[in-house]
Amino acid sequence: MELGHAWNFLQIVLADIVLSGDNALIIGMAAAGLAPELRKRAIIFGMAAAAVLRIIFAIFATYLLEIQGLLFLGGLLLVWVCWRLLGEIRDQIAERAAEAQEEAEEGGYKGAPRRTIGQALLSITVADVSMSIDNVLAVAAIARENTTLLVFGLALAIALMGFAASIIVKVLTRYPLISWAGLAVLCYVAARMLYEGWPDMAAIVGFA
């Protein structure tokens, strides 16, 4: 494997792991305030919705990058994701998300519900949509014309979110260095998306 392809492969793997883990983290935190009997249902809904959304956006991935200005807007969204990730890593929020998911599986928290199922599902759905778009755009921005790499990255993202998201949160909690490496990759991808997407955005806003 050529060095350039190996670097792109590593970027995609790290981006998929961190973005899938962050998506699962948000789902776990949103479900944490629910009544015990609803918590596991909300987490399953969130994981399934995130996987389905990634499939839907993946189908249109190459077309998404061709929409004028979307690459730049996706870069801005990824900058916001990076900023939130930085705070989560520093505050060790992943540990609390993992605990919330364990509570859902084991029924540990028995207190009064702190939010309704509707509020939790709304938070989860908004997070799923934004994270799925960004995941697909990030993979597409890294892979570009390499169809094999694009398909691999999107398939991995869907598989991770559909089958291994809870495990990823626990791995990221145990090995925080992976989170820092993934954050560095996402910052690089965001900067690249902003740089390459600016000419189109400049033309849209009249700066060109």
3-state secondary structure 59-118: HCHHHHHHCCCHHHHHHHHHHHHHHHHHHHHHHCHHHHHHHHHHHHHHCCCCCCCCCCHH
Question: How confident is the model over 7-19, as a mean pLDDT?
Answer: 89
DSSP-derived 3-state class of residue 140:
helix
pLDDT tens-digit map of 162-202 = 888 778 877 777 777 888 888 899 899 889 889 988 998 88
Predicted pLDDT at 195: 92
Q: Give how far Cα 68 sits from Cα of 89, 156, 159, 166, 198, Å.
A: 33, 27, 29, 36, 10
Cβ partners under 8 Å of residue 162, min gap 6: 47, 48, 50, 51
Count the neighbouring beta carbons within 10 Å of the beta carbon of residue 180. 14
Split at pLDDT 50, 70, 90, the class of 108 is: very low
d(CA 41, CA 20): 19
Q: What are phi and psi of 113, to 5 degrees?
A: -65, 135
Identity at 71, one-letter amino acid code:
L
What pLDDT score was predicted for residue 109? 46
**pLDDT tens, 28-82?**
777 776 777 788 888 889 989 999 999 998 888 777 777 888 889 888 988 988 8
How many secondary structure helices (H) and strands (E) does the chain include?
9, 0
Find where tokens 């998404």 sit: 64
**What is each CA distance from 164 to 30, 44, 124, 127, 200, in whole angstroms?**
18, 12, 17, 18, 37
Residue 113 has pLDDT above 60, yes or no: no
**Does the pLDDT at position 144 exceed 80?**
no
Using an 8 Å Cβ cutoff, are 27 and 35 in contact?
A: no
42: DSSP letter: H
Provide the token pair at 27: 């789902």
Task: Judge contact between 18 and 183, C-beta under 8 A.
Answer: yes
